[in-house]
Structure 1
Amino acid sequence: MKKLSASIVSLALLTSLFSAVQAADNSLSVQLNGEQIQFSESEPILENGVTLVPIHPVMEKLDVKVIWDEATQTVTGTKGSSSLSLQVGSTNAMANGTAVTLEVAPKLIRNVTYVPLRFVAETTGYQVAWSPSLHRVTLTSKQQSEGGRGFLWKIENMGNTVYLLGTMHLADDSMYPLRPEIENAFNTADYLGVEVDLMKGASEESQKLIADLSVYKDGTKLQDHISAETYKKVTAFLKAQGLPENSFDNFKTWFVEKQILYIKSSQGEHKPDMGIDRYLMEKAYKAKKPVISLENMELQFQAMNNYSDSLNERLLLQNLEPGSPNPPTPDVSVDVLAKMWSEGDYNALTEASKFIGWDTELLKSSIDDRNAAMVEKIKGYLNSDKKETYFIGVGSLHMLGDMGIVPLLEKEGFKLERQ
């Protein structure tokens, strides 16, 4: 999938919460530079949130030379100037000459030595990303990626600091590692702020709301609310996915559109589980850094539920077939957006944020209203007497434009510095 509308990209993060038809695969997998590592009889395991892997298949793929000391049950590994040392049953380890404490100790399982994957990979120069939804660990050679510059601003007021990062909800390995200024800003922050904290999953209240809002209760079905031609395209899409053609019949148009978006984005080169927002949230949870949601998830569901029938069908058609007549937003290549983000091209972001050709109803709901509410939250952090630091990651298309977060904060008298 090469195209998604810009408005859909800005909302894509929300869709992973309620994919009712996405097939679940709970097996744990490991990918290295896009290729899945094959394990024989001994598979990776999760223990207390840490991925443990059989030592030999992984070390071989990472090109790490291993020495095993049977007497002390110690593993020593070297790769170029990198070195590591671990001992079965001990959380004490060495990484490039520095003593570190592991969250989970290496162990023997049926005479196979298991070691913490993240420790081994990061020590030997790999970027590590974890996707809870896919149960997948992704390893990327840092030398294979130029990484991403992104869009970063710094704001200071009354002893408080806010770092504001424009993110991409859909990403791939090429956007990592993030540049040092972004990582350093994140590390200094007391809190991470995101649109919605998806790592803790949907609350029981949210799940009930989704169930209530997403289905028709008046005896009608999806085919009663969209044209026969559009309904045929929906059933054709389901058939192509190997799903029953009536899978969406009881669901409202906006919910169906989000389901199709999630399926298509998960199959594309740029995926939600590799998004910058998800990377930041995973990093925050690992560091036990508090995560704050800037938006109310329930209000977003209600807003989408209140879209007009015309807008909902146009969004659905644009999602099914980019280039459809009368689209609510211009079709924008995800590759173009990713290039803009990776290069930190503020001029390109400014042009994209003019939102020329957008449906006014969609623009007000998905950009203007949301930006105004998020700015109020950010103002509260900056005007606090707590003297704290916040790192806030919000979709890049929310940053600029007439109603962008950056100009709205500037109108309030705050000085924003590009980093």
Structure 2
Amino acid sequence: MKIKFSLSILIVFILLIGCNSSKSVATSNKSSKLENSLLWKISGNGIEKPSYLYGTIHLTCDYTYTDKLRKAFDETERLVLEIDMTNPKLQADMMKLIFMEKGKTIQGMMNEDDYKTLSDFFKEQVGVDLKMFNTMKPFAITATLTSKMAVCDNGTAYETEFMKIAKEQNEAVIGLETIEDQMNVFDQIPYDEQLKSLVEMANTGMDESRKSFEKMTKYYNAEDLEGLLNVMTEQGLEADFQESLVDQRNRNWIPLIEKIAKEAPAFIGVGALHLPGEQGVINLLRKQGYTVEPVY
């Protein structure tokens, strides 16, 4: 698979989902336009009590526990996220997966000039020597830099806040996939491509990435799923990458969501870009016979 990759795509993916083919995401995701809403009610087709589906963002300065969110949590009994963040082995499992194969290093995959450019940039932004990440997968560097994009000091993730609510309400937390599943997704992006994009980011500066973050945040806060999808299209996400990073995962989740929703009402929070499009969770659930409608 030939990949046309930009760091902006990976950043958007990290924030909204926890990259040459001739067919782009715009074509593969063509479907009827969705109303502007991040919260969707799932009912019908054997579900006794409705469940709710919410499109999350993994870094925000604008988290608000709205009345409609409160009502949805009050009406449901379990919290469903992409991964079960209450798993006590989560951190240990992640650390096992974050390192590259024995003998492979970040510095060894880069020429001297590019490594110095990235190292200086990383130290400036994070305050840590890049050598500490030398045996880790490039994704670890990207994720660390992504966390610095918020223009506020109190940035948070919707998943983090939802976990607090679930704990207060003594609700179980269910994961749709494992941390290994998620890390395998990023392993499909060649390391050298990831590093080239990191150097490009270092050369252009954090301001450009923050502009992309602000643009994405604007659409997210407007609850405009179609606008978010267009941002991804503009960044050049190709169909093969869309298939492995988003569409296939969505299809894997549908039978799990069906089973969970039929057992008991659930609040389901997944990255916002999993919701729109022909292969989006909303449309896939509708194809299975469920009524999925926006909550205003």
For normalisation by structure 1, the TM-score amounts to: 0.56
Offset at residue 339 of structure 1 (A)? 2.3
- 2:139 aligns to what? 254
Matched, 1:185 2:72: yes
- 1:156 aligns to what? 43
| Aligned mates of 1:368, 1:311 — CA distance in 2 | 22
| Aligned mates of 1:248, 1:187 — CA distance in 2 | 43
- 1:217 aligns to what? 102
| Aligned mates of 1:244, 1:350 — CA distance in 2 | 35
SS at match of 1:333: helix
The one of 8, 30, 33 aligned to 1:5: 8
CA RMSD in angstroms, aligned pairs only: 3.2
| Aligned mates of 1:271, 1:379 — CA distance in 2 | 38
The one of 85, 104, 113 aligned to 1:198: 85
Conserved 8 A contact 2:94-2:179:
no
Residue identity opposite 1:235 in structure 2: S
| Aligned mates of 1:361, 1:313 — CA distance in 2 | 20
Q: 1:376 to 1:205 in 2, by over 3 A?
A: farther
Matched, 1:417 2:296: no
- 1:277 aligns to what? 159
Q: 1:315 to 1:199 in 2, by over 3 A?
A: farther
Conserved 8 A contact 1:194-1:294:
yes
Please show how residues 21-100 of structure 1 align to structure 2 within 5 Å. none
Q: 1:254 to 1:10 in 2, by over 3 A?
A: closer
Q: 1:199 to 1:13 in 2, by over 3 A?
A: farther
Conserved 8 A contact 1:14-1:196:
no
Residue identity opposite 2:280 in structure 1: G
The one of 287, 291, 294 aligned to 2:176: 294
- 1:372 aligns to what? 251
Q: Gaps (5+ residues) in structure 2?
A: 1-6, 19-35
Offset at residue 333 of structure 1 (A)? 2.2
Offset at residue 195 of structure 1 (A)? 1.2
Offset at residue 215 of structure 1 (A)? 3.3
Q: Between Structure 1 and Structure 2, how many residues are aligned? A: 267
Residue identity opposite 2:43 in structure 1: E
Offset at residue 357 of structure 1 (A)? 1.0
Conserved 8 A contact 1:371-1:403:
yes
1:311-347 deviation digits (Å, cap 9, x = unpaired): 32344345545689xxxxx997222222222222344
| Aligned mates of 1:407, 1:164 — CA distance in 2 | 12
Conserved 8 A contact 1:170-1:272:
no
- 1:396 aligns to what? 272
SS at match of 2:85: coil
Q: Gaps (5+ residues) in structure 1?
A: 16-148, 325-329
Conserved 8 A contact 1:160-1:389:
yes
Conserved 8 A contact 2:90-2:179:
no
Greater fraction helix? 2
Conserved 8 A contact 2:225-2:272:
no
Please show how residues 229-268 of structure 1 align to structure 2 within 5 Å. 229-240=113-124, 241-262=126-147, 264-265=148-149, 268=150
Conserved 8 A contact 1:209-1:298:
no
| Aligned mates of 2:241, 2:154 — CA distance in 1 | 22
Offset at residue 395 of structure 1 (A)? 1.2
- 1:170 aligns to what? 59
- 1:363 aligns to what? 242
For normalisation by structure 2, the TM-score amounts to: 0.76
Offset at residue 252 of structure 1 (A)? 2.8
Offset at residue 207 of structure 1 (A)? 4.3
1:207-233 deviation digits (Å, cap 9, x = unpaired): 4523xx513413x42122234443222
Structure of higher RCO (CA pairs closer than 8 Å, 6+ residues apart)? 2
SS at match of 1:247: helix
- 2:30 aligns to what? none
Name which one, 1 or 2, has greater alpha-carbon Rg: 1
| Aligned mates of 2:60, 2:241 — CA distance in 1 | 24
- 1:339 aligns to what? 218
Matched, 1:303 2:191: no
Q: 1:372 to 1:316 in 2, by over 3 A?
A: farther
Conserved 8 A contact 1:216-1:251:
no
| Aligned mates of 1:345, 1:222 — CA distance in 2 | 38
